[in-house]
Chain A
Amino acid sequence: MLDLTTYLRRIMNQDAAETFDQTTDSLEAIANALGIGPSVGLWMFGVCDPAMVASTTNIVTNNLVGLPDDIFNDQFYMQIIRNTDIPGAAPEGEIRQITGFVGATQAFTVNAFTANVEADDLICIIHESLITPGLEVISAIVQAIFDLVNAQLVLTETGGTVTATGLLTEDNVYINNAPAGVFKPHLVTIDMSDLAVGEVATVRVRYRIEAGGALELKGAPVIFNGVQAEPLKDIELTPNRFGVQVTIEATAAVVFPWEVHYEV
């Protein structure tokens, strides 16, 4: 049985023999002596333990002591409020449901974040009554929508000017030697206005259709001789994943402005 009268006298610094000692007389110490754990709030701030192993599902804090096992299960959510190593990067801002908790080690089990939670990251624990029902689901849907938006190909254009090195040498007009993934080249347009009487230009298109393969010729080379009454020439291209190249071989010093459109 605790002698609460003695505690109160020491809290009040009753006399020289009865002075306040924080380790035994603070309200927190008395609560601990009575076996009363810290209260569980509807919102709690947490710090990931410096010794925590990075994980998407197993998070260990160091400031939520004395709470009973499984107190948070299913009714509480964890949000990463700061990625300490890379502020702003995932999983910062993400919210996941808590499915397990071991009080002695402050070890949380949660539905998986999209990236590892790491030592010293800052978190908060939120009771479901404080957040929109299904917020985790909404968060996942928003992420999925964003992934779709990012996957949309964007019609893009660039161009330049090629000055021919000379016959027997192919100069690159347009090349994407190592695409990041599937993309959709549409059209290369070459301006042959500079091609004069007696001069010649040959256009070739090559594709790579497997990882590590060679750029292989597709279709017959197209040859243009002399002055072109309609100087803009279109070379149509097809979807590709591993590489595409359009070259021109022409009389030395002939200048060819060009433009390409592709979706990437």
Chain B
Amino acid sequence: MIGYDNREINHGIVLDLPLQEGVGLITHDLAKPHHIATLTGPPLWKEVLAEGIGPSDLGILLLDGATEYLQIPGADTLDLDFTGDFSLAAWVYPVFAAQPMVIMCRNTTDACGWCMFLYDNPTLGPLLSLRTNQAGSHTECYGADFTDSQWQLVGYSRLTGLTATCYRNGRPITTVGGTGILNPIACGAANKLLVGVQEGEASDFYAGYKWRPRAWPRQLSDADWLSLWEHERHWFGV
């Protein structure tokens, strides 16, 4: 028998939403904190094969880019108040729009927290950005060449030594600005964890399918990212 916590990739994980309910307005966390995310809008429960976007019956969520997102109360997400190393990952099938699309965030203003978002930059093309917030300022980096309407494993590993690396499909990619990412400041109970919308819950909605947002209070290595990719890509036929 293989135990969830015995897999190296799951060591220390603090958020893991595999979206296994398939129905209803809440979804549960496989990580030890047992966060419960509320579906606001709500996003629609879907399956990969039935949507014609892959070969499996894996359950996923479809977010409309206008009103739908997931949220966990701030008081329940103090363990996501990263102030040093951390990593964020999610499978996304984005349908790009003119606006930035938040994959997940814990505040998006120059006060505290962090945010990972996609943005189809008119000049640079689709980017995956990581932003860390400090009092009155923020630092930000990005990786390029993310694809519209295709499944991809996206994420960041951020190291205490101010560096952050962007990952796509299990491999590190060029991360512009990735050497000056300051530690985020803890938000406390004031800010929710939001999946698919930015702080204020009124803009930068994510449009498209999404599966398994995850967060770790440590830096995932290149090998960790490749392991995630190789273990899970079969669900999406990529």
- Interface: A153 (CB within 8 A): yes
- Tell me the residues in window 23-62 of chain B with beta carbons closer than 8 Å to chain A beta carbons: 23-24, 26, 28-30, 34, 36, 45, 47, 56-59
| A88 near B170: Cβ-Cβ < 8 Å | yes
Chain B residues whose CB sits within 8 angstroms of the CB of A87 once the complex forms: 168-169, 171
Contacting residue for A180 out of B2, B21, B58, B238, CB 8 A: B58
Assuming the contacts A86-B150, A158-B30, asked whether A179 and B20 have C-beta atoms less than 8 A apart, the reply is yes
Chain B residues whose CB sits within 8 angstroms of the CB of A150 once the complex forms: 231, 234
Identify which of A14-22, A58-66, A169-177 touches chain B.
A169-177
| A178 near B30: Cβ-Cβ < 8 Å | no
- Interface: A236 (CB within 8 A): no
Separation of A105 and B122 alpha carbons in the complex (Å)? 39
The 4 closest A-B pairs by CB, nearest first: A178-B22, A177-B22, A177-B23, A88-B169
| A158 near B24: Cβ-Cβ < 8 Å | no
Separation of A87 and B226 alpha carbons in the complex (Å)? 13
Q: Which residue of B lies closest to A88 (CB)?
A: B169
- Interface: A8 (CB within 8 A): no
- Chain A interfacial positions (CB closer than 8 Å to B): 85-90, 146-147, 149-150, 152-160, 172, 175-181, 243, 263-264
- Chain B interfacial positions (CB closer than 8 Å to A): 1-4, 7, 20-24, 26, 28-30, 34, 36, 45, 47, 56-59, 147, 150, 152, 168-171, 229-231, 233-235, 238
Contacting residue for A154 out of B3, B29, B168, B234, CB 8 A: B3
| B21 near A177: Cβ-Cβ < 8 Å | yes
Chain B residues whose CB sits within 8 angstroms of the CB of A157 once the complex forms: 4, 30
Known: A88-B171, A179-B22, A179-B57. 10 other contacts (CB 8 A): A86-B152, A87-B169, A88-B169, A88-B170, A90-B238, A155-B3, A157-B30, A160-B26, A160-B28, A178-B57
Chain A residues whose CB sits within 8 angstroms of the CB of B234 once the complex forms: 147, 150
19 A-B contact pairs sorted by A residue (CB < 8 Å): A86-B238, A87-B168, A88-B229, A89-B233, A89-B238, A154-B2, A154-B4, A156-B4, A156-B30, A158-B34, A160-B28, A175-B22, A176-B20, A176-B22, A177-B45, A179-B20, A179-B22, A179-B59, A180-B59
Chain A residues whose CB sits within 8 angstroms of the CB of B29 once the complex forms: 158
Contacting residue for B23 out of A159, A178, A263, CB 8 A: A178
With both chains docked as a complex, state the minimum distance between the C-beta of A65 and any C-beta of chain B, in angstroms.
Answer: 31
Separation of A149 and B24 alpha carbons in the complex (Å)? 31
| A180 near B57: Cβ-Cβ < 8 Å | yes
Separation of A152 and B36 alpha carbons in the complex (Å)? 27
Chain B residues whose CB sits within 8 angstroms of the CB of A180 once the complex forms: 47, 56-59, 235
Separation of A134 and B141 alpha carbons in the complex (Å)? 44
Chain A residues whose CB sits within 8 angstroms of the CB of B24 once the complex forms: 172, 175, 177
Chain A residues whose CB sits within 8 angstroms of the CB of B2 once the complex forms: 152-155
Question: Which of A150, A156, A179 has the most chain B CB atoms inside 10 A of its CB?
Answer: A156
Chain B residues whose CB sits within 8 angstroms of the CB of A178 once the complex forms: 22-23, 45, 47, 57, 59
Q: Which residue of B lies closest to A158 (CB)?
A: B28
Separation of A179 and B29 alpha carbons in the complex (Å)? 16
Question: Which of A88, A157, A177 has the most chain B CB atoms inside 10 A of its CB?
Answer: A88
Separation of A175 and B28 alpha carbons in the complex (Å)? 10
